[in-house]
């Protein structure tokens, strides 16, 4: 096929997509689901069609992501949630994982496999959402059913997931702890192959039949505890039995232009996301945000987080309010830079974790970020259970006892997660979030500010992104260095870096910069957008 015909087909597809995202389609609008795996988005669609609300759909999406993106999130991980019921002010659900009671003071390099895992929160969070905010129209079993089917019948590995598997093949082959469950005949599944997970299917069936309690108090809990005991892990049956419901919190918020932006409270990184947005708003001063503004806002916000972290993860209100005040923003912008050259740490080439968004016809919106931390978490699974434990213990701060994230028992895990909801005139208009550790903050702040400025979520999601760590500026496209003002480079002693490109699946778009799955209301229509850096899909659901 020649280039012109290909282009014509592409234009037709684009027009069809625009048509499909408009509300003038026959049929009743039920909602939108945008997630990193087509299978998981379809699971959400199924639940909306059965009469479930956005919360029900989100639970089904979560369980299905645990099967179809096992490198990113799962039953062994943590889940952070921001939700707004029927356009009411958002609520934050702090679904942090916690370090086990038996955590000892050790150095970071002694944490391997089972010992890397905090106590998983995901199942507890999903159960809490179901009990408190589910519609009651769909049963718990029905929400897990699609995930069981993907685990039993297999799912097709998409191009991004295929690359991740290839890159981590050796690690999966080397681990002595049942990571062959994620291989096909001992080899990493390739794009287009089907991966079945019969053991995970059995665990999911138990969860469907006996409920979330089985994970914390029943047979699944016993299996986790005995696997941990056998393999040097710290998580005990008591840790699981004592694990509490997630706490509901008032999300952090700012005004930005004429919008209200809500993001996740500590221990998450929402405050830095909002601080960067305030810096961007002040820098752009009503003009279109440019590359220099983004770099400066990211530099100041990310370094403020590093040097002046939120010190109290429970009583944080007054410090966070101060940090989000006009005065603090002005102060940061007029600060004489200390422009210390960075100590080089290795570039983490990662896009692990997952974020998805759902809205339903009533306006209820939910933003969920879920993770097992590193790709394939701790690289350990129980032969009986078939899911990977997380590696959140890696992110505690070692040998600094006074630090808010110092390694100690029963401590909340450090996180950059920033599920975010934007409201205008009291209505939800944007639901957004991303994976990518500190890149979560850079990407969510950039895209949310850009969207408030000019909407068009599908276009914004495909634009190149920027991340700043210390004085290192990561540009997604190398030629963009030419856009950066020399005075800015000099002021902050900036150095340009370019991350590993081995996981790229589309043009110059690198999953290093996150994987945004967002839903926005534009010209009174809901539009879902899946990040082209991953395998995801957004579905506009009509009856
Ligand atoms: O901020 C968190 O919760 C993460 N550490 C989760 C992992 C992630 O997004 C990708 N990590 N490099």
Beta-strand runs (E) in 75-153: 78-84, 91-94
Whether 436 lines ligand 1, by a CB cut-off of 6 Å, is yes
Among candidate residues 77, 474, 81, the one with its CA nearest the CA of residue 270: 81
Whether 154 lines ligand 1, by a CB cut-off of 6 Å, is no
Q: What is the DSSP string of 371-389?
A: E-SSTTTTS-B-TTT--B-
User: Which residue in the list 97, 353, 364, 420 is annotated as catalytic?
Assistant: 353
Centre of ligand 1 to C-alpha 72, Å, is 9
Centre of ligand 1 to C-alpha 435, Å, is 6
pTM greater than 0.85: yes
Whether 373 lines ligand 1, by a CB cut-off of 6 Å, is yes
Integer CA distances (angstroms), 267 to 102, 271, 310, 366, in order: 21, 10, 9, 19
- Report residues of the chain scoring pLDDT below 50: 1-23, 341, 347, 349
Question: Is omega for the bond preceding 165 within 30 degrees of 0, making it cis?
Answer: no
Centre of ligand 1 to C-alpha 28, Å, is 37
Centre of ligand 1 to C-alpha 396, Å, is 12
pLDDT of amino acid 343: 55
Q: Whose CA is nearest to atom 7 of ligand 1?
A: 373
Whether 350 lines ligand 1, by a CB cut-off of 6 Å, is yes
Closest ligand 1 atom to 435 CA = 9
Which residues sit opposite 249 in a β-bridge?
A: 92
Cα Rg of the chain, angstroms: 22
- Helices vs. strands in the chain: H and E counts, helices first: 18, 18
Closest ligand 1 atom to 350 CA = 12
Whether 353 lines ligand 1, by a CB cut-off of 6 Å, is yes
pLDDT of amino acid 340: 55
Clarify whether 353 is annotated catalytic.
yes
Centre of ligand 1 to C-alpha 529, Å, is 21
Centre of ligand 1 to C-alpha 473, Å, is 19
Q: Whose CA is nearest to atom 6 of ligand 1?
A: 373
Q: Whose CA is nearest to atom 4 of ligand 1?
A: 437
Closest ligand 1 atom to 348 CA = 12
Tens of pLDDT, residues 103-162: 998 888 899 999 999 999 999 999 999 999 999 999 999 999 999 999 999 999 999 999
Centre of ligand 1 to C-alpha 117, Å, is 14
Closest ligand 1 atom to 351 CA = 10
Whether 273 lines ligand 1, by a CB cut-off of 6 Å, is no
pLDDT of amino acid 20: 44
Candidate of 435, 500, 503, 533 to mutate for ligand 1, largest count of ligand atoms within 8 Å of Cβ: 435
- List b or e across 61-79, with b for residues whose CB sees 16 or more CB atoms inside 10 angstroms: bbbbbbbbbbbbbbbbbbb
pLDDT of amino acid 393: 97
Q: Whose CA is nearest to atom 12 of ligand 1?
A: 437
Instruction: Please state, in angstroms and rounded to a whole number, the distance separating the CA atoms of residues 11 and 257.
Output: 34
- 87 burial via Cβ count (<10 Å: 0-12, 13-18, 19+): middle
Q: Residue 189: CA atoms inside 13 Å, Cβ hemisphere, count?
A: 26
| CA 378-384-385 angle, 5° bins | 55
pLDDT of amino acid 21: 45
Candidate of 69, 273, 373, 375 to mutate for ligand 1, largest count of ligand atoms within 8 Å of Cβ: 373
pLDDT of amino acid 339: 59
Whether 352 lines ligand 1, by a CB cut-off of 6 Å, is yes
Centre of ligand 1 to C-alpha 440, Å, is 8
């Amino acid at each position: 096929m020649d280039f012109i015909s290909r282009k014509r087909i592409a234009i037709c597809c684009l027009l069809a997509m625009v048509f499909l995202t408009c509300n003038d389609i026959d049929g009743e609008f039920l909602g939108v689901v945008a997630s990193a795996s087509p299978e998981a988005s379809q699971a959400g669609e199924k639940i909306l069609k059965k009469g479930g609300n956005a919360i029900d759909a989100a639970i089904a999406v979560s369980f299905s992501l645990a099967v179809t993106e096992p490198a990113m999130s799962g039953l062994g991980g943590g889940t952070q949630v921001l939700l707004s019921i029927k356009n009411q002010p958002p609520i934050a659900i702090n679904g942090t994982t916690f370090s086990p009671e038996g955590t000892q003071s050790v150095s970071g390099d002694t944490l391997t496999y089972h010992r890397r895992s905090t106590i998983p929160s995901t199942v507890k969070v999903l159960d809490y959402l179901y009990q408190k905010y589910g519609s009651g129209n769909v049963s718990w079993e029905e929400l897990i059913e699609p995930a069981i089917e993907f685990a039993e019948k297999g799912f097709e590995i998409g191009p991004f997931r295929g690359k991740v598997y290839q890159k981590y093949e050796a690690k999966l082959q080397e681990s002595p702890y049942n990571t062959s469950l994620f291989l096909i005949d001992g080899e990493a599944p390739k794009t287009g192959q089907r991966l079945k997970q019969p053991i995970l299917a059995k665990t999911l069936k138990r969860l469907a039949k006996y409920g979330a309690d089985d994970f914390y108090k029943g047979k699944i809990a016993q299996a986790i505890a005995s696997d941990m005991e056998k393999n040097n892990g710290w998580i005990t049956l008591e840790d699981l039995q004592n694990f509490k419901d997630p706490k509901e919190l008032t999300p952090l918020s700012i005004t930005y232009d004429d919008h209200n932006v809500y993001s996740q409270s500590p221990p998450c990184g929402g405050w830095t996301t909002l601080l960067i947005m305030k810096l961007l708003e002040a820098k752009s001063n009503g003009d279109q945000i440019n590359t220099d503004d983004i770099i400066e806002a990211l530099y100041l916000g990310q370094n403020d987080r590093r040097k002046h972290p939120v010190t109290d993860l429970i009583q944080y209100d007054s410090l966070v309010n101060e940090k989000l005040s006009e005065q603090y923003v002005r102060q940061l912008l007029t600060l004489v830079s200390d422009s210390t050259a960075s100590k080089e740490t290795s570039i983490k080439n990662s896009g692990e974790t997952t974020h998805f968004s759902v809205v339903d016809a009533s306006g209820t919106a939910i933003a969920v970020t879920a993770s097992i931390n590193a790709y394939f978490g701790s690289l350990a699974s129980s032969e009986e259970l078939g899911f990977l434990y997380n590696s959140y213990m890696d992110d505690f701060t070692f040998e600094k006892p006074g630090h808010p994230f110092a390694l100690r028992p029963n401590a909340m895990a450090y996180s950059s997660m920033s599920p975010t909801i934007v409201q205008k005139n009291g209505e939800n208009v944007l639901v957004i979030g991303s994976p990518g550790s500190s890149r979560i903050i850079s990407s969510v702040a950039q895209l949310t500010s850009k969207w408030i400025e000019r909407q068009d979520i599908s276009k914004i999601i495909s634009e190149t992104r920027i991340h700043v760590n210390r004085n290192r500026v990561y540009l997604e496209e190398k030629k963009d260095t030419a856009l950066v003002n020399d005075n800015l480079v000099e002021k902050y002693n900036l150095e340009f870096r370019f991350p590993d490109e081995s996981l790229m699946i589309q043009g110059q778009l690198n999953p290093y910069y996150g994987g945004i799955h967002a839903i926005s209301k534009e010209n009174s229509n809901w539009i879902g957008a899946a990040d082209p850096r991953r395998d995801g899909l957004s579905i506009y659901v009509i009856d």
